[in-house]
Structures are given as C-alpha cells and as structure tokens.
Structure 1
Amino acid sequence: MLVSLFRLLSFLPLPVLHLIGIAMGWLVFLASPSYRRRLIDNLGRAGHRTYLYKAIGEAGKGIFELPFIWCANPQRVLRTARIEGWELVQQAMAGGRGVILLTPHLGCFEITAQAVASKTALSALYRPPRKAALKPLIEGARARANLKLAPANLAGVRILLKALRNGEAIGLLPDQVPQNGEGVWADFFGKAAYTMTLPAKLHQMSGAPLILVYAERLSWGRGFATRFVAFDQELGDTPQQQARAINTAMERLVARCPAQYIWSYNRYKTPPGVSAPGASS
C-alpha cells in the first residue's frame, strides 16, 4: 500500500510535492506539541531561531520529496541534482585510498548518494527501518546502479573498508545517533550528543580523506544543489576530540542553510545501554 502510494506520488512534479510538503509541515507542527517543542528547542539552541517559519515548511518538503527521490525514474531525479565541487572528490580519490563522504541530515540528503553514484561507485552505511513495512520501500528505493548499501553492523563496516581499500567512495550520516558502544558524548550546538566514532576510525584505518557533502533544496521546486566541501578540522587523538571535530564541521555546514536541517530529529537522546552524559560509569 505504502509503496503504491509513493509510486503514485512520484509522478507529480517536484514543485507540487514541495507545496504539499509545506502545508503538511505546518499541519504537523500545529498538531503535535512534542514535535513543535523539539523543533523550536533545537533551533534555539543552535542560534537559528529566526529560521523557524521557514524550517517548518522545509521539514514538510523533506518528507514529500521522498516519493520523487525514491520512486521516480532515476534519470528524471538526477536532472534535478546540480553538482558543485566534484573536483574535491576527484582529487581525493586520485590518492588511491578512497574517500569518506560525510552527509548530515541537511537539505535533501537522500539525493546525495544518487548524485555521487552517478559519478563513481559508492558504498553507503544504512540502518534498516524499525518498521518492517518500510523496509522493502526504502531498500528498493535506494537500490541504484553503482550504489551499494552497507548495513550498520560489523559486516557493513567490512564492506566500507573493502571499498576504501579498492580506492572507492563511501558515505555516512555522521549526525545519526549510533547504538551503544559505537559512539561517545561530544558537544553539538552547545549540548552533549552521542556521536558516532566510525568516520574517524575508518580514516585512521585506511588513510582515506574526509569530505563533506550536502544537497541544498532550491526554492520553488527547482531541484537541489549537491555541494562538496573540504573537511578542514583537526581530528585530534582521542575519540572525544575526533567526534567533537566532526560535530563542529557539521555545525558549520548547517549554517549554510539552517532552515533545511532536520531540527525535529532527536539528536540528543540517550541510546539504550548508554550512560547519560556526565553520569558516573
């Protein structure tokens, strides 16, 4: 049922889907106190409170563009994805150690993998959805030529390492809350957030450089600008320093288009089995 609905919606023009998304974004904001509170709190904490009204609509766009991104003809989707800064990736891959692409929940992050895969082989870390009904939709939608999904487990890490050793690109969402044992507490917009340590570990194990990538959603449904940005933070020596460096890079990337970050995401939750920040172990 859900797959059929998404396929049906995918035939609509992107501007129409974005208009529907704006309306639904406001509906959810007004109808859900918990959603509203988290979005406002996270925006305020990050110093981007002035973008509230725009962020409400952008959140809705991010949901209603998914049928287009996932189910429309891949060539039709890629026509909406302008690519900027690809030479950074080419230069990094020329070293033969592959490249680690870090994509936060900013803009249309779902289209970045397709944009990269249109240029070169990509292995992307993937966490299966909790709801079984969503699994065939998401996995089928993300299956593309040149794009391999790596599950968020030890087998997936091996896939990523193999890709790097073959000189290929891999992709991760560094602001996704990891599971117990896969992260450390590090500051993110002024509050401790459980942050994955995998990007820095893969960098240390392979020597592959880090590059940031995000896809800014253009106004009036004109598509997306997929931009590659150099990672210019010193990682440091400890997992905490490395996690903080990556979070700092994410903060600066978010500042490029603050309204398009998913502020409703529960970034500061404490995963099961993890001690709260500051708690004695």
Structure 2
Amino acid sequence: MVESAQFSNHLYHPKYWLLWFGVGLMRLLCMLPLSWQMRLGAGLGTLVRKLAGGRSNTAKRNLALCFPEMSEAEREALYKRNFEETGKAVFDTINAWWWSDSRVQKHMTIKGVEHMQQVLDGEQGVILFAVHCLPLEMGARILGQCHPGIGVYRPHNNAVMEYLQVKGRLRSNKGLVPKRDLRQMVRCLRNAEVVWYTADQDFGRSSAVFIPFFAVPDAATITGATTLAKLGKAKVLPFYVERNSDDKGYTMEIMPALDNFPGENEITDAIRGNQVVETLISRNLPQYMWLHRRFKTRPDPKGPSLYK
C-alpha cells in the first residue's frame, strides 16, 4: 500500500519543466473564488469540445447508445453541458488536492455518514460503491474530513503526475492501493477499513460479464464487488458526490448498505450493481464521465466496434 508520495530530483528533469509550469499555474488558479473557477472551467470545457474530435465523438456516441429515447436536441444539449462540467472538473481536482481543510469544509455538505459508521461499529469493512462522477476527487477529500479511507487507484505513467496524484489523494486517504492488488484490498476490508470501488467503466474482457447498462444490453462489467465483499467480509454502500447546481459547493452522500449483497451469484450481483450505477449517474447526467469508451469491449471479439 502506498502511504507517502516519493519525491526525487529526477522530477526536476527538463522534460518535466512545461508540466511544472502548468502545475504552478494551477496552484495560482486554486486561490480564486470557486465561482470564478467554475466560469473558467466551463469555458475551458467548451474549448476542449471544439478541439478534441476523438473524445468529443466518444461522448456523443455514448449518449446516443445509452439514451435512444432522448431527442437529438436533448442529447446535443446534454453533450455540450457535459463538456462544460468536464472543464469544471479540472478545478474540482486541484481543489481536492490543494485546498486547506478549512476551505473544503466551507464548501461541503455531507449526508449519510451514519450508514458507514454503523457498519464500522460492527467491525466490518466498508466498500464505497462509487461512479466516475466528475467531482469524484472532491468526494474523497470531503469524506476525509470525517473518516479517511483507502483509495484504489491506477498508478500514472508520468512520474510527476504520479507524485502529484499520490500526494493530493493522501490528503484524504490513509493509503492508496493499485487497482490490481486485490489481496491488499481484502486485507484492508478485514481490518474494518473504508475502501473505494468503482465498476462503471470498461476494464476489458478479463473477469467481465456482459450485462445491461442503460440501453446497451451487453456492456462489459467487472464483478469485483462480489469478490471483495465475500473475501473482505464487507458491506457495500453506494456513494455519490456532485457539484451543487449553483456552483458554490459540493454535496457528498453515503447511502445505506445493500441488502443481501453478495447474492446468489456474481452475474446477479453485477446486474444489481449496474442498476445502482444507473441510479447514481441519473442524479446528475451532465456530471458523469461520458468521455470514456464504456462499450469498447464487445461480447464477440471479432464483432464490429460501437464507436465506428
């Protein structure tokens, strides 16, 4: 488990200078009032939408696949709003990594912590079943104000970004576990820790089942929640965070533990999990990460891509 950010002189290499310049700029922008940040973020997202052809097409295709019942005008409006929210998420992340605790507390609302505490009081681990909502980094930071947990993360290929994300996320977590280290996750859960978990992205064919996700009948979905809950003897609690509609703060909510989870089999659990995911995403459609190629893995490896 990663419990500290490791800095080395190698990070001063000239190849990282431009990145460090950007980091310095972000640190300055972090000092702006939240409302100013959000206006800048919305403009940034609009600019990215016009320039990022590939990701832009991915978002459009995801919305068309998931919501065929929407009119084209409705999907277009959601698509444009989603890019504005994505631009704002840049500031959500830097705020989560660099704001002081007092500033976080000034802009946060917490609901449902008693559900988590009830499980912990019973000396069981908690799996926070989250989705990739755009302010997710801030959700972890807010939770850290009352109960730091264990973050599950993907190590970054860029050494500077790895240092920054570890340092930033350890402001709200006791430690970080690489997403493939199942043994460490189980160990933490058996020690009655709180572990983050997401199952709403396409992680490939390994350990995946093909089940409905919104209007797509055969989305590749991992079944790790069942494995973790069984081996870790833990409870699964849906978790959600969103940026408030007035852009002046964040609301984090922990919901009651899922009853009878794990259930009869991992496929039934995965279907139930996707239903939970759909409910969470539907709370604020524009604030979900629609830029991810959620349906890139198909049941037939030789079948046509849904993104062509």
Residues 1:196 and 2:222 are matched in the alignment: yes
Once the 2 structures are TM-superposed, how far is the Cα of residue 213 of structure 1 from its aligned partner? 1.0
Residues 1:28 and 2:48 are matched in the alignment: yes
Superposed CA deviations along residues 60-106 of structure 1, whole A, max 9, x for unmatched, are: 11123322221222332233221011111122222211111011111
Quick one: distance in 1 between partners of 2:294 and 2:131? 12
Q: Which residue of 1 aligns with 2:289?
A: 262
Pick one of 233, 238, 248 that aligns with 1:222: 248
Quick one: distance in 1 between partners of 2:207 and 2:143? 26
Pick one of 48, 61, 83 that aligns with 2:110: 83
Once the 2 structures are TM-superposed, how far is the Cα of residue 256 of structure 1 from its aligned partner? 1.0
Quick one: distance in 2 between partners of 1:128 and 1:146? 15
When residues 131 and 195 of structure 1 are mapped into structure 2, their CA distance, relative to the original with a 3 A threshold, is farther
Equivalent AA in structure 2 for residue 194 of structure 1: A
Residues 1:178 and 2:203 are matched in the alignment: yes
Quick one: distance in 1 between partners of 2:276 and 2:78? 20
> What 5-or-longer segments of structure 1 have no aligned partner?
271-275
Secondary structure at 1:220's aligned position in 2?
coil
Superposed CA deviations along residues 31-77 of structure 1, whole A, max 9, x for unmatched, are: 22222222122223332625333222112111233222212223322
258-267 or 116-125, larger mean C-alpha shift: 116-125
Once the 2 structures are TM-superposed, how far is the Cα of residue 179 of structure 1 from its aligned partner? 5.3
Equivalent AA in structure 1 for residue 64 of structure 2: G
Quick one: distance in 2 between partners of 1:179 and 1:6? 33
Quick one: distance in 2 between partners of 1:179 and 1:44? 22
Quick one: distance in 1 between partners of 2:166 and 2:201? 18
Superposed CA deviations along residues 175-224 of structure 1, whole A, max 9, x for unmatched, are: 23335534333322232333222211111123311111111111333110
Residues 1:99 and 2:126 are matched in the alignment: yes
Q: Which residue of 2 aligns with 1:116?
A: 143
Residues 1:147 and 2:174 are matched in the alignment: yes
Question: What aligned pairs does 1:29-48 form with structure 2 within 5 A after superposition?
Answer: 29-47=49-67
Quick one: distance in 2 between partners of 1:130 and 1:44? 32
| Sequence identity (%) | 29
Normalised by the length of structure 2, the TM-score is 0.80
Equivalent AA in structure 2 for residue 198 of structure 1: G
Secondary structure at 1:176's aligned position in 2?
coil
> What 5-or-longer segments of structure 2 have no aligned partner?
1-19, 303-308
Equivalent AA in structure 2 for residue 30 of structure 1: K
252-261 or 219-228, larger mean C-alpha shift: 219-228
CA contact (8 A) 2:201 2:292 kept: no
Q: Which residue of 1 aligns with 2:234?
A: 208
Quick one: distance in 1 between partners of 2:124 and 2:211? 28
Secondary structure at 1:8's aligned position in 2?
helix
CA contact (8 A) 2:205 2:220 kept: no
Quick one: distance in 1 between partners of 2:186 and 2:278? 27
When residues 180 and 57 of structure 1 are mapped into structure 2, their CA distance, relative to the original with a 3 A threshold, is same
Q: Which residue of 1 aligns with 2:7?
A: none
When residues 139 and 67 of structure 1 are mapped into structure 2, their CA distance, relative to the original with a 3 A threshold, is same
CA contact (8 A) 1:25 1:60 kept: yes
Q: Which residue of 1 aligns with 2:306?
A: none
Superposed CA deviations along residues 216-235 of structure 1, whole A, max 9, x for unmatched, are: 11133311000112354765
Normalised by the length of structure 1, the TM-score is 0.87
Q: Which residue of 1 aligns with 2:29?
A: 9
When residues 267 and 130 of structure 1 are mapped into structure 2, their CA distance, relative to the original with a 3 A threshold, is farther
Structure with greater Cα Rg: 2
CA contact (8 A) 2:190 2:233 kept: no
The alignment of Structure 1 onto Structure 2 pairs a total of residues equal to 273
